[in-house]
Amino acid sequence: MTKKNSLLSLFICIFLIPAFSQNLTSSRIACGPWIQAVGETEFTVVWSTTVKSIAWVEVAPDDGTHFYGETRPKFYESIHGRRPITTLHTIKIEGLQPGISYRYRVYQQALLEDEGNKRVIFGEGYGDDILKNPVYKVTTLDSQAKSCRFSMLNDIHGNDSLFSKLTENSLERDLDFMLFNGDMLTQIESPQQIFDGYMKSAEKNFTPFLPLFTVRGNHEHRGSASWEFMNYFPSSTNKSYYTFRHGPAFFIALDCGEDKPDNDIRYYGLSLTDQLREEQALWLEEVVSSDEFQQAPVKIVILHMPPGTEKDWHGMREISRLFVPILNKASIDLMLSGHLHRHFFIQTEERGNNFPILINSNIQRLDVFIDENEIKLTTVDQTGQIQNNYTLKTKFTH
């Protein structure tokens, strides 16, 4: 071998091979995971990776055995029969049991080269490290549970430091799930905004272990990347409105739409939320007529913008026109809202409503406990101080 070839070989060994090897394991978690669309027999895992990858999830019962004790079932990301190569991963886990805790691991494998039908090369598979970190765990919902406990935040508008303080002890409070009730950002211009605005702190504080339910506020309708919201926060209906049941409580999550008329110049002709609210009203009629809804002892509505009066803006007035007449006949126990950036407790009949409405402020967390007989509501500020307390008797007890 010539001296020139020897130097070339040495260069490849020192610089090119390590660089190539590094690419083999270059796919890492950028944000997440977080749990969406949890039900009694399923949940969905969502996370983002640093580079385009294929992904899967391994699941094991929380039965005391080591995760490596046997081969665990793999659930692959699939879109129309093909594994997508992407940076955002959404995998539905099915066939589970109600009220049971399951451990899970997320895996991704980076795409190194794609030559179509000729050749596709992937790097080394990488999963979260269960030897150094706690194994991710999630518990399915259970309609037979005696009670339900959760926390709600809203109108954070990307104030990550406030969000982090309000959620820092979430895993210590025996919650069943977390609820985001809209306007977590002022607008969505990129997925990175979602990560930096609150989801990286949510990942640090609770999301790998605590299910998350999300609804859109009016500000989630805004921004060049706002149409991607449902990709990051999928629901059981694949729409921005849905239902779920845990313990005695049946929840209806609604999309408030925009606060101004769709033809407002600031929407650039892109808003169709009047149509969205009309669509939801038809769906809502079906929901409140269902056996599942009517048989639930407690009925809760989640809606970012509360109903309005004739003095309020268009969106709140449309909620009063379209949703309230249906809800007034449905024995609703409570509506949870935000939007006004101040705390209010609206009594029954105060705005033509046949149910109380709690409007949470933008600087407090709402903690909720529900059983068949009562609903306990507590608002807590970022220092951990209790600001308001309410106890409501459910209509099931009347």
Q: Do the Cβ atoms of 328 and 321 come closer than 8 Å?
A: no
Q: Identify the bridge partners of residue 14 per DSSP, sorted by sequence position.
A: none
- Helix 314-322 crosses helix 273-289 at what angle (to 10 degrees)? 30
Residue 125 pLDDT:
81
Residue 330 in contact with residue 293, Cβ under 8 Å? yes
Q: What is the rounded distance in angstroms from the CA atom of residue 267 to the CA atom of residue 271? A: 6
Q: Are 35 and 210 in contact (CB under 8 A)?
A: yes
pLDDT of 108 reads 93
pTM of the model: 0.91
Please give the Cα distance from 167 to 156 (Å, whole number): 12
**Measured CA distances, 214 to 183, 242, 254 (Å):** 10, 10, 10
Is there a shared CATH topology between the 29-138 domain and the 143-397 domain?
A: no
Would you state the pLDDT for residue 82? 92
Tens-digit pLDDT profile for the chain (398 aa)?
555 555 545 444 454 444 444 444 578 899 999 999 999 999 999 999 999 999 999 999 999 999 999 999 999 999 999 999 999 999 999 999 999 999 999 999 998 877 666 677 878 888 888 888 889 999 999 999 999 999 999 999 999 999 999 999 999 999 999 999 999 999 999 999 999 999 999 999 999 999 999 999 999 999 999 999 999 999 999 999 999 999 999 999 999 999 999 999 989 998 999 999 999 999 999 999 999 999 999 999 999 999 998 889 999 999 999 999 999 999 999 999 999 999 999 999 888 999 999 999 999 999 999 999 999 999 999 999 999 999 999 987 75
User: Residue 290's pLDDT is what?
Assistant: 98
Q: Indicate the CATH number of 29-138 among 3.50.50.60, 3.20.20.70, 3.40.630.10, 2.60.40.10.
A: 2.60.40.10
Question: Domain residues of the chain, as ranges?
Answer: 29-138, 143-397
CATH code given to domain 143-397: 3.60.21.10
